[in-house]
């Protein structure tokens, strides 16, 4: 009788991890075995299947196209198993682990965490702040909030907001530069990590999209916001992220003329992952909170 699983489950898990990581060591660490044991898993799986699963390159192991094609199914399968066991035992039902970028965390979410937890007592929101799109199949992550076009491999993403953007600056900066029509003559903060589009905004307002802009150059989006609030220059910012600072007077929108970009903030989960109750509560809360926060703080006590 043929087995429904011609490859042992541990070997399948090793294949899935190595295909994502491109190396044996991460699989060895997660499975609690040696690198040699992972190598044996792969060799025996290839023998049973009668085909190579990986190409050995100087840069590491690369999955063959056939494996790349089914990798989302493998990842979703193991994620579903983990979620099923967590539901069985009730593990982590009181904690929602979210990975977010620094700007979303520091300019929007952190001021609203208390509000979320007050509306959902017994459910704690734990944040992992990083600019990297982490592996959402990890057991210690429930979801991510990321800025982009939503087309990330192996990810299901739904837009939550943040498509409108425009320049902002400190009130004293606007007062010092009474004429901001010629952006070539005023400092413009260059955020090297930003995916917002100065040429798009310029073109939408009848300006030269190729205009050269100069000013402080920063490689951290949160520092770029701080630079703007300290009067160092104009910053192109998503309205969603600047609303609170505009509400309390730390920033102004001198042109008051946003444009809509093709990118925005997305709630992202591993493709095929079952939506837990706690994740649905968070998704529903975002759906209500994001539009309500468009004009800045609703609760004045939340101001920094």
Residue 295's pLDDT is what? 72
Domain boundaries, position 79? 9-88
pLDDT at 2 over 60: no
pLDDT at 293 over 50: yes
Q: Which two three-digit tokens encode residue 132?
A: 């990297």
Pair (74, 200) in one structural domain: no
> Domain ends where: 47, 69, 88?
88
| Structural domains counted in the chain | 3
Asked, for residue 3, whether it belongs to a domain, the answer is no
Tokens 């990297």 locate to: 132
Q: What is the pTM of this model?
A: 0.71
| Sheet bearing 155-161, strands edge to edge | 124-129, 95-100, 143-148, 264-270, 155-161
pLDDT at 80 over 90: no
Pair (242, 285) in one structural domain: no
Pair (211, 171) in one structural domain: yes
Say if CB 293 and CB 246 are below 8 A apart. no
Residue among 16, 14, 60 nearest 35 (CA): 14
Pair (67, 104) in one structural domain: no
Pair (55, 72) in one structural domain: yes
Pair (135, 271) in one structural domain: yes
> Domain ends where: 43, 68, 88?
88
> Domain ends where: 88, 114, 145?
88
In three-state secondary structure terms, 115 is helix
Residue 4's pLDDT is what? 65
Span 191-229, pLDDT tens digits: 998 899 899 999 998 888 888 999 999 998 899 999 999
**pLDDT confidence bin for 29, thresholds 50/70/90:** confident
Residue 211's pLDDT is what? 87
Whole-number Cα distances in Å, 23 to 45, 55, 65, 236: 16, 11, 17, 39
| Sheet bearing 164-168, strands edge to edge | 235-238, 164-168, 259-260
**Burial (0-12, 13-18, 19+ Cβ within 10 Å), 47:** exposed
Pair (274, 134) in one structural domain: yes
Residue 227's pLDDT is what? 96
Say if CB 230 and CB 169 are below 8 A apart. no
Can you tell me the distance from the alpha carbon of 19 to that of 184, in angstroms, rounded to the nearest whole number? 48
Span 35-47, pLDDT tens digits: 999 999 999 999 9
The residues, any chain, with a CB within 8 Å of residue 5's CB and separated by 6 or more, are: 12
Asked, for residue 2, whether it belongs to a domain, the answer is no
In three-state secondary structure terms, 161 is strand
Pair (172, 159) in one structural domain: no
**pLDDT confidence bin for 282, thresholds 50/70/90:** very high
What's 38's domain CATH number?
1.10.10.10
Asked, for residue 4, whether it belongs to a domain, the answer is no
Can you tell me the distance from the alpha carbon of 76 to that of 89, in angstroms, rounded to the nearest whole number? 20
Asked, for residue 231, whether it belongs to a domain, the answer is yes
What's 169's domain CATH number?
3.40.190.10
Pair (113, 232) in one structural domain: no
């Amino acid at each position: 009788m043929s087995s429904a699983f011609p490859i042992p489950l541990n070997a399948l898990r090793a294949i899935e991890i190595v295909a994502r990581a491109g190396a044996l060591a991460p699989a060895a660490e997660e499975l609690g075995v040696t690198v040699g044991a992972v190598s044996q898993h792969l060799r025996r799986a290839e023998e049973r299947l009668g085909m190579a699963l990986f190409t050995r390159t100087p840069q590491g192991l690369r999955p063959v196209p056939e494996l790349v094609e089914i990798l989302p199914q493998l990842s979703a399968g193991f994620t579903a198993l983990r979620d099923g066991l967590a539901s069985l035992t009730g593990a982590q039902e009181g904690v929602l682990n979210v990975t977010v970028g620094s700007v979303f965390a520091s300019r929007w979410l952190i001021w609203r965490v208390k509000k979320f937890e007050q509306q959902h007592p017994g459910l704690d929101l734990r944040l992992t702040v990083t600019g990297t799109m982490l592996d959402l199949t990890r057991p210690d992550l429930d979801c991510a909030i990321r800025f982009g076009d939503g087309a990330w491999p192996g990810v299901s993403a739904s837009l939550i907001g943040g498509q409108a953007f425009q320049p902002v600056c400190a009130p004293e900066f606007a007062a010092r530069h009474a004429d901001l029509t010629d952006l070539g003559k005023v400092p413009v903060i260059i955020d090297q990590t930003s995916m917002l589009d100065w040429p798009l905004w310029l073109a939408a307002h009848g300006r030269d999209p190729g205009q050269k802009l100069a000013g402080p150059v920063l490689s951290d989006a949160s520092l770029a916001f701080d630079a703007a609030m300290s009067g160092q220059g104009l910053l192109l910012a998503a309205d969603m992220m600047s609303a609170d600072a505009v509400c309390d007077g730390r920033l102004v929108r001198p042109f008051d003329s946003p444009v809509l970009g093709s990118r925005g903030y997305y709630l992202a989960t591993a493709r095929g992952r079952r939506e837990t109750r706690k994740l649905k509560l968070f998704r529903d809360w975002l759906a209500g909170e994001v539009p309500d926060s468009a004009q800045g703080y609703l609760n004045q006590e939340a101001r920094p």
